A and B are shown apart, each in its own frame.
Chain A
Amino acid sequence: MLIQQLLNGISLGAVYAIIAVGFALVFNILKFSNFSHGGVLTVTAYAGFLISSKLNLGFVPTILLTAVAGGLIAMGIERVAFRRLRKKGSPIILYFVSSITMGMLLENLITVFFSSNFYSYPKFFEKSSFTIFGLNMAVTDALMLIISIVSLTILMVVIYKTRLGIAIRALSMDTNTTSLMGINVNAVIAATFFVVGCLGGIAGVFLGLNYTLYPQLGQLIVKGFIASVLGGLGNLFGAVLGAILLGVLEVTLTNIPFIGAGLSPVVIFVIMLIFLILRPQGIAGKIVHEKA
């Protein structure tokens, strides 16, 4: 029972991890909390739905195409909402406002085009769950876990082993000096947003599968935010750890009779506050201040 809960928690945490890492990456380079990522989650959840139902594609091609779509959308957001701010050297608070506005805009566009009806993804698999070592696991959960692990691994390789990754890390430390290296900072930021959008697209499909579709789906970005705060803002490994912790915590709390699904968000926030008082830099982070 306990191990079963742990497994469920980790599967849920894997989805949060994908969201949290996308959130953390942007925080890393531009130093603000990018809530427009919620808009990307909503739009890609619907995009994945359209791709799978209209094109009649299977699970993996749907994820891949949606990831690319998410990447392009995030690049578009960066272009429209943040690049001009960067050019003018605007204060961080404006990025924050701009990102929230972008998130709401995307959410409302979805409401306009799909109204507030609920949709759900086609059934991708014959069986909905399987048993392994006496543990019961939903097929989608297992796939989410696998795909999360694969995409996080690819992400870490990109960030820590490639030239683009070095540039992204350099950018997170010092923008001006990065451009003195002959590096096109705008291009690196655009590429980062593409990567972040891909992660958002993958998370969008997962969310759509888990919760059926509604325009406010992207507000689950809050989970990614909590996870990356728990992990230490801007720290990628921390974000993953925070997300797993959050997933396990949620599943556990929901299964405690007098807390249940209703009270668990409250308890989570209380735990987050206590945690931040005790360890403001998060699990893995050094202290970083959002300059807003």
Chain B
Amino acid sequence: MNSSSAEIFTLHQSPQKNTESIIEINNLKISFGQQEVLKDVSFNLHKGENLVVLGKSGSGKSVLIKCITKLLQPDYGKITVLGEDVNSLEGKKLAELRKKIGFLFQSGALYDSMTVKENLEFPLSRMEQKFTKEEKYEKVISVLENVGLKDAVNKMPSELSGGMRKRIALARTLIVDPVIMLYDEPTTGLDPLTSREISKLINEVQQKYHTSSVIITHDMDCAKETGDRALILKDGTILAEGKLEELENSDDAWIKAFFGKT
């Protein structure tokens, strides 16, 4: 086992006995120049689980999920997604794996030369399965209804508000019914009401499609609403993991401060 496992105090032994791991990350290490962003990160994501990742801004949360889809290559460590070693995947095999993963970017990353409809149809047209024009349109409308933005179908991303863009981006990730969802701050910049709806939507997706998700968030309400388990990232390692309530009631001074309980 890794040497730093002593530092990770597991507050709650999650039911790992007979749960299948969808994502396994072992000893992940990545640095940019001199800056070591992730030093030694290991965790598993179980089937059908919502895992919340907490941590201060700049602690490497976005970098972590980018490694899962091989947008970034780690310097060291092994990442297994759905039984495949991500870092050794190339070309077609990598593309096939990526089709099963939905990735919500922190910035939304809508294609700004395309309308909302074209944005949503883009991932559909990349699937093996071919859809007719009507089927595509139906899917677009139904997923837009889910995020409450049916009227925006013919708008350009530049005509939308920040929160609307975020919801369209979410719709774009959900439209292909992914097996794994990686949400990078799904509720940031949204009002409390919409945030709650998005949290609900995340749970619905989990229940309906048995999706396993990693949810990065600073929004405690969203974390509580959606998370089955949480982990806290600090200084490039996992400081603690367990159920959110247990983390909140931790005795560790830093964790207390993080949850605003000084």
Mutual binders A and B: no
Binding site for A on B (CB under 8 A): none
Binding site for B on A (CB under 8 A): none
